[in-house]
Chain A
């Protein structure tokens, strides 16, 4: 699938973008081979923020390793923790009470909204409009305040435990979420007015960075990156977990394959998340928020895999256990790594300005890629 572009010819410029750069969303080092202004090859060099998380988890117990995954993809920290908790529960056959399931899904969808809001602001900033970034953070602050009241932290919330959630929701939670829904509904129309309809923005995004559905599947892209090419891969619909099977929402796919299609997928996903939250917020069942488990968790010998849909794609947790209190090997399947591998394919033949737009629509978070 990857054609070898010949060795650099005379007159080619080799440029380093990053690792310190205002638009690489983290420490990503790209080595770009240019011919004039046209890109011939993009080579990502990773590893600048590799912290050996998977090795560290081998010395932590099954309750302790969950907090580290918040630091991997810090914008969907709840969803990452959720994936780990699901895997442990699968191994130990723990039954999660209904109230905890609904609370988990609510937190997941709020996190997805917050992540997409930040993506929107950062994407607009990369393309050149500096104002939407601040508007996006105003909404994100509202979500962060809600999280702060219930979970205690704003970014790396260690709130999911195997068996349920750490503490019950705050009495103010439902009221604040309802206020937030009403507030955000007016703002999301403003987003469309300010950025989506803008002719300059459309010219920068339409026709740029085409990814065909076959390429998307072959590179392993998941999440909005693949859904923007028409590939249906939403884990919440294909392998429903928690209460997603009983909710009414649509999987958003847009055929088009270019940057604008991926942009529209995320904008519509924000609206879908809002509708899921609306469906659930009044129907939180009563009950326990945490199942009773043993004090020390020991998974039986074997291999367990569970997957969740983060804001970037499919996040998988694979635990190999030898029957001890600490896992033998944990592997995290990060969505950003596969999405990044398609960057070279998408960027060939475009200009540098387009490279920034393409990276913006891939929504990369580098600590997620490097772990």
Chain B
């Protein structure tokens, strides 16, 4: 029992914190901690990029009755390393007549927004960069900033295709935030708090997906659809529709800047799946069923970081499954879907959830 708890991330972070505070004075300790956190976030990004791109290629390949990358490295695992090397060595062209400042700024904005959203997410028990008391609100607010990056990229490219793609993407993201926000609100109503850690602790006797029965399931489905649209993923990927407008808002980017857009898209998927896992599936909380203490104890043996990673990657797989099965929606059908179907449904669902929360009709 003791050995297992020694290896958990909570203990590692705690021991580093204690050591730093005892060796240096508090200000320097805080600065050093921030430095460590920053470096590990960048490292996490790099690792995520590697793993997710490979996962996408392999998942798509098996669904299309073919093998994915299988030459570079055992089973193709070093494929993304080769791709990154290629992108890093490519010439980064800036088109003539493009607005140079905005053109160079856009990819960095998108990446910085992705990094900022990582702050309140809880990866394991006790591993949270910033447990702000308005965690959920912070996430929804900051994720809206990525639209600015996309619009900048489309405008600054001096290319009709990019402009069209960026406009479409802007309209799409702004509309779907409404449904996503309402879906999140229904869980907040059930929990009574905006803080991520208290949302997770409230799922100690069961995940909200099961406890909140019908309204929670409906809002989960709406949330998944809305975040697929927010991250510009198929079937809502008109902004980068390869067979219609070459590559939409990032047509003119090449080399490292394109790599940053590419990376930011995959990290965004990871983040929204992490949030969905936190709100509906309990984050790092193992599967507990009410008062079956024996069962709960067994579930607690599996480390919390493994629970979190498992849930997040399952949701990422579902989103990839959507991409490789469905055709693309047209822009007016997309907005139609949001304003005529998803928004009314999520509003009605919110009312229902409030009713259930007040009367206490959930488990």
Q: Which residues of A contact B (CB under 8 A)?
A: 13, 15, 21-23, 37, 124-131, 133-135, 138, 194-195, 198, 200-201, 203-204, 351-354, 356
Contact = CB atoms under 8 A, between A and B. Distances in A.
B325 interface: yes
Contacts of A127: 327-328
Contacts, number: 76
B327 A128 contact: yes
Given A22-B243, A352-B244, A353-B238, A131 B331 contact: no
Contacts of B325: 129, 131, 194
A15 B160 contact: yes
A71 B31 CA distance: 70
B101 interface: no
A34 to B, nearest CB: 9
B309 interface: no
A23 B235 CA distance: 18
Interface in B150-208: 160-161, 164
A13 B162 CA distance: 13
A351 B324 contact: no
B331 A37 contact: yes
Nearest to B324: A131
B329 interface: yes
A353 B65 contact: no
Given A131-B63, A351-B332, A200 B326 contact: yes
Nearest to B328: A128
Interface in B283-342: 324-333
B2 interface: no
Interface residues of B, number: 28
A262 to B, nearest CB: 16
A134 B63 CA distance: 9
B246 interface: yes
Contact of A351 (B235, B326, B331): B331
Contacts of A198: 326-327
What 3 A-B pairs are tightest by C-beta distance, nearest first? A128-B328, A134-B64, A128-B327
Contact of A130 (B64, B331, B333): B64
B20 interface: no
Given A22-B243, A351-B332, A128 B326 contact: yes
B96 to A, nearest CB: 18
A138 B324 contact: no
B358 to A, nearest CB: 36
A135 B160 contact: no
Contacts of A354: 330
B3 interface: no
B245 A203 contact: no
A22 B242 contact: yes
A351 B241 CA distance: 14
12 contacts: A13-B160, A37-B331, A126-B243, A128-B327, A129-B326, A131-B324, A135-B64, A200-B235, A203-B329, A203-B333, A351-B330, A354-B330
Nearest to A353: B330
A195 B328 CA distance: 12
B64 A200 contact: no
A129 B327 contact: yes
Nearest to B241: A128
A130 B64 CA distance: 8
A126 B242 CA distance: 9
B245 A128 contact: no
A32 to B, nearest CB: 11
B324 A128 contact: no
A342 B238 CA distance: 26
Given A124-B327, A130-B324, A131-B325, 17 more contacts: A21-B246, A23-B243, A126-B243, A128-B235, A128-B237, A128-B328, A131-B324, A138-B65, A198-B327, A203-B329, A204-B327, A204-B333, A351-B330, A351-B332, A353-B241, A353-B244, A353-B331
Contacts of B246: 21-22
Most buried by A among B234, B324, B326: B326
B62 to A, nearest CB: 11
Nearest to A128: B328
Nearest to A135: B65
Contacts of A125: 243
B330 A204 contact: yes
Interface string B55-86: 00000100111100000000000000000000
A72 B238 CA distance: 34
B218 to A, nearest CB: 18
A134 B244 contact: no
A62 to B, nearest CB: 42
Contacts of B243: 22-23, 125-126, 128, 356
Contacts of A124: 327
Nearest to A195: B327
A14 to B, nearest CB: 9
Interface string B255-279: 0000000000000000000000000
Most interface-central of B64, B160, B234, B330 (chain A CB within 10 A): B330
A201 B245 CA distance: 19
Contacts of B164: 37
B168 to A, nearest CB: 8
Contacts of B66: 134
A23 B244 contact: yes
Interface string B329-363: 11111000000000000000000000000000000
A134 B327 contact: no
Nearest to A134: B64
Contacts of A130: 60, 64, 324
B322 to A, nearest CB: 11
Contacts of B234: 128
Contacts of A138: 65
B164 to A, nearest CB: 8
A127 B327 CA distance: 6
A125 B243 CA distance: 8
A126 B241 CA distance: 10
Contact of B65 (A134, A195, A351, A356): A134
Contacts of A131: 60, 63-64, 324-325
Contacts of A203: 329-330, 333
Interface in B116-152: none
Contacts of A21: 246
Contact of B329 (A134, A135, A200): A200
